Structure 1
């Protein structure tokens, strides 16, 4: 670009924790940041150079906001694509590109993309109504996913028998074969407009079964190098097939027979990359900025073992957030606290994350378990 990065305005659709951490990195480059978010108390409100409260799904609001920026990016996929496409036609840089966001907004289209590009994924079937679900020949149990608007474990259910179809989503969905997996993993890949590509090392995830949210993330993986290489190769193949600019998080399963299956994509900084702030030479947020501003990509190697713990609102607590046990966990070496600036807590709401770094992997995991049992978000 003719202008220096510090002369450009970055517009971000969404003002939650991902936008907040992206701004924290953008400050190092003296970038001007503009945020659009419907929440008057959005986490980004007080640290952005410009904050606008408005709908990120309304054409006129997104279009007029985008005209103020040189480059537009997202922290959530549920945005108005038509407005972004119009901005692209008028010469604005939208990264990830509007066509990529459109594809990923619909989990059914995502799965068809996998099939068309020989990306390994679980067998699936697209359905539109409960009647379609009843007529499916998929064997029970299986996973049912809403094609649109599912996030953070929402819009996903396990169907164990025909009786449970009565409680199924009555909306366009996809039925997916239940994967008997050994581990859930993720690889984040970055790609700039020059076509330069780098992956972060594969990470392992452990989920909270009740909330269907990542509870622990452990980096780097201890799987054999051959397995990690296969996962990173799949992520690079997807990024190339999409011709994406920016970050792409690729969530995958390792089955008990060693097969790797792609689950879902996220074309932005992602929960599976938060550990990179302290655990890697370059963070996912800096790498995203490097990608969309067409700068050299950073060194993705891990500098230490890192465990990331999602800090979720406690059950039966709704109201102004209070953090119980914070001083206790801050007394531990190698603990880094990230609170997201959300005033109100509710059950399972993402309120922050904690990263533990330690040269000893077992010690890092032990500290993470202590933090999980000690630090609570209450009201």
Structure 2
């Protein structure tokens, strides 16, 4: 067994945002030396990791040279240079998630084809190399409004996803490779986080339910456990396990899904890393998702994924109309409420809908937790000095 703790072992992480910051809380508990590669010198991880390297995650040389300095390499964002990871893997570096999985997941088109090829339930879709090809299909009555448009690459937090209802919406899309999906009527958006280590041990977290902001297309609330029938929850868990098994995935995989009006489960997309839908676990679970990610990629025994209490996560995003040096207004008010824990991500500047932090609400009663979450959402404001 490798000695990871208080040793010369170095864990490398591509990306230094808030997910990396929360991951560092776990590596610090175990005294694992952690090196971060990130393009932004003021990123949330910059001041708290053991080694911080400024470099472009999509640049071959930056990723390759960084990889040569660490013993195991992981990610907190999937948009990284895969050619560099392939070379490092060929040269013997341990990388999780595997570059082959990232190659599938980086492209929404490849993801969807993977689901189709493996009989994993997902919404019907079409793939277009560029916008003009999509417009041509519309003009020839091959596609009808409304539909969901997704950029094939580089989408995140609602960016790169639009519901297209009319010709103006279509004309305002960027000219990039994309997919379109039928607009599926659904009851709930759900997620299941699955952890799998190198030895093949697998554990799932409880199914969570996500409530979205109608304009920003960002998650506002994550509710655990999801308020759904146990048979639907089991179905969601089985689908998530199949995705992990068919990918032969090692690490932490968040599987986002739709529960349709007739209780079918359709996979929307996956994230090969700790995920917004698992932030509640820091306070509510026996083993939080960030510790579990470390356990899985280092082939340690996986921890207990059960919840100690019901948990709800509220995203803190920049309020519309405010940009500049951030102020968290009324944070003292929410600190007065039992079971409320804020997490501030260390981003000094806010802008509309920028993810700045989250708040976890825990309670033995999910309905009480949801009411408190609403109170928190209505109380705290992420604004700026300049407006």
TM-score, normalized by length of structure 2? 0.96
Aligned to 2:17: 16
* Correspondent of 2:193 among 188, 191, 210: 188
Q: Does 1:30 align with 2:31?
A: yes
Q: CA separation in 2, counterparts of 1:316 and 1:244?
A: 42
Q: Deviations over 1:258-297 (max 9, x none)?
A: 1111001100000000000011110000000000000111
Shift of 1:163: 4.6
Shift of 1:162: 3.8
Contact 2:132 2:175 in 1 (8 A): no
Q: CA separation in 1, counterparts of 2:128 and 2:174?
A: 10
Q: CA separation in 2, counterparts of 1:38 and 1:222?
A: 40
Q: CA separation in 1, counterparts of 2:6 and 2:74?
A: 16
Shift of 1:5: 4.5
Aligned to 1:130: 131
Contact 2:131 2:178 in 1 (8 A): no
Contact 2:317 2:355 in 1 (8 A): yes
RMSD: 1.0
Aligned to 2:234: 229
Q: CA separation in 1, counterparts of 2:47 and 2:100?
A: 31
Where does the alignment leave 5 or more consecutive residues of structure 2 unmatched?
Answer: none
Q: Deviations over 1:280-326 (max 9, x none)?
A: 11000000000000011110011111110000011111111111010
Shift of 1:225: 1.4
Task: Tell me how many residue pairs correspond in the alignment.
Answer: 379
Q: CA separation in 2, counterparts of 1:163 and 1:152?
A: 23
Q: CA separation in 1, counterparts of 2:94 and 2:236?
A: 30
- For the residue of structure 2 that corresponds to 1:269, the secondary structure is coil
Aligned to 1:103: 104
* Correspondent of 2:218 among 207, 213, 222: 213
Shift of 1:370: 0.7
Aligned to 1:279: 284
Shift of 1:161: 2.8
Aligned to 2:122: 121
TM-score, normalized by length of structure 1? 0.98
Aligned to 1:3: 3
* Correspondent of 1:201 among 192, 198, 206: 206
Q: Deviations over 1:151-174 (max 9, x none)?
A: 110011111134532222311100
Q: Deviations over 1:2-50 (max 9, x none)?
A: 3345432110111000000000011111100001111111100111000
Contact 1:33 1:50 in 2 (8 A): yes
Where does the alignment leave 5 or more consecutive residues of structure 1 unmatched?
Answer: none
Contact 2:283 2:362 in 1 (8 A): yes
Contact 1:316 1:347 in 2 (8 A): yes
- For the residue of structure 2 that corresponds to 1:321, the secondary structure is strand
Q: CA separation in 2, counterparts of 1:169 and 1:95?
A: 32
After superposition, the Cα gap between the structure-2 partners of 1:4 and 1:76, relative to the gap in structure 1 and judged at 3 Å, is: closer
The 10-residue stretch of structure 1 (362-371 or 127-136) with the greater mean CA deviation from structure 2: 127-136
Q: Does 1:76 align with 2:81?
A: no
Aligned to 1:312: 317
Contact 1:312 1:352 in 2 (8 A): yes
Q: Does 1:60 align with 2:67?
A: no
Aligned to 1:91: 92
Q: Deviations over 1:77-128 (max 9, x none)?
A: 1111111111111111111011111111100000000000001000000012
Q: CA separation in 2, counterparts of 1:235 and 1:341?
A: 32
Contact 1:5 1:293 in 2 (8 A): no
